[in-house]
Amino acid sequence: MIHNQHIKSELGQDIIFQVREISNPFPEVEEQIDKFGHTSFRIKDKPFVIIGESEKGLASLAIKTLKTTQSFLLNQQDRFFKTPYIGQHGWTSLHIGKSLDWKEIEGLIKEAYLQTAPKKIVAAFRSMENPE
């Protein structure tokens, strides 16, 4: 697994660390760096979180959301925006500041994972989360 090859800023590194801490317990998650230098967290080669960084060192965090969730989040215009190029597919990005609500982000990442993962993996995750 390749880590942090292209994200260089301290804030970008912190975002990767936090997303990794949230995502690693989910079954079959893989972390990859694409040809654009984005770090993505994937299930069966489908991304559910993408972290990038501009040439100026500004970090970005995009999460795959349900359309209803995206609509709700976009109403909070000061915090969220439709991800360029892929927003029409439900991707929502956060305006990155020094303080992020990681509890809220954790819920969004979990939703993204569950919507992206195949049904068998979701069922296994649900049974792991709620053992009888």
Q: Which three-class secondary structure state does DSSP give residue 71?
A: helix
Query: What is the rounded CA–CA span in Å between residue 6 and residue 36?
Result: 9
pTM of the model: 0.90
pLDDT at residue 2 above 60? no
Q: Look at residues 115, 68, 119, 65 and name the one whose alpha carbon lies nearest to residue 94.
A: 65
Model confidence band, residue 4 (pLDDT cutoffs 50, 70, 90): very low
pLDDT at res. 5: 54
Burial class (CB in 10 A: 0-12, 13-18, 19+), 110: middle
**Domains of the chain with CATH codes:** 10-129 (3.90.1150.30)
